[in-house]
Structure 1
């Protein structure tokens, strides 16, 4: 699994989410959501310290993004790219073999 975050999205997370020293942004599965990879599940974020990440991404602005090993099942071999949409809100793009999954 690969995790990437563009500069604008990383800046949004730094400004909008309270991240204490030593913490990062955990990307995790949540029930009762929607995603193109798992019906009935979506993504949530949690500003917390990493414990057992399977993947990390450190943005240029110093924000650490990560997925814990307990959420690996959700991604099912998909990569995740985080950008901002036209409303300046996070947009999550799942990729399988480099191709976006809608």
Structure 2
């Protein structure tokens, strides 16, 4: 699994979540909502330290990751994170690896 974060999305994380160089951002499965890959679950985001990362990406000194325990949620898809100007927030797209 790969994590791809666009420059615009990176700026959103820096500004809205106050993420700085050296920080870690975790993407995780949370109960409730829905997504293109798992009905009844949605994607959560938090500042967190990795324990057992299954996928990692680094951009501008910020580390994005998914833990091994959340890998099932992505169902063999890569995570593409972009910025949606209309929503003024990140947009997540799942693309088959």
The TM-score, its normalising length taken from structure 2, stands at: 0.90
Structure 2 unpaired stretches of 5+: none
Residue matched to 2:79: 80
Residues of 1 paired with 2:19 and 2:47: CA distance? Answer: 6
Q: How many residues end up aligned between the 2 structures? A: 96
Question: RMSD of the TM alignment (CA)?
Answer: 1.6
Residues of 1 paired with 2:8 and 2:79: CA distance? Answer: 16
TM-superposition CA deviations, 1:50-83 (whole Å, max 9, x none)? 1110111101x21111000000110110111000
More strand by share: 2
TM-superposition CA deviations, 1:8-56 (whole Å, max 9, x none)? 1011101111447854110000111210100000000010111110111
The TM-score, its normalising length taken from structure 1, stands at: 0.86
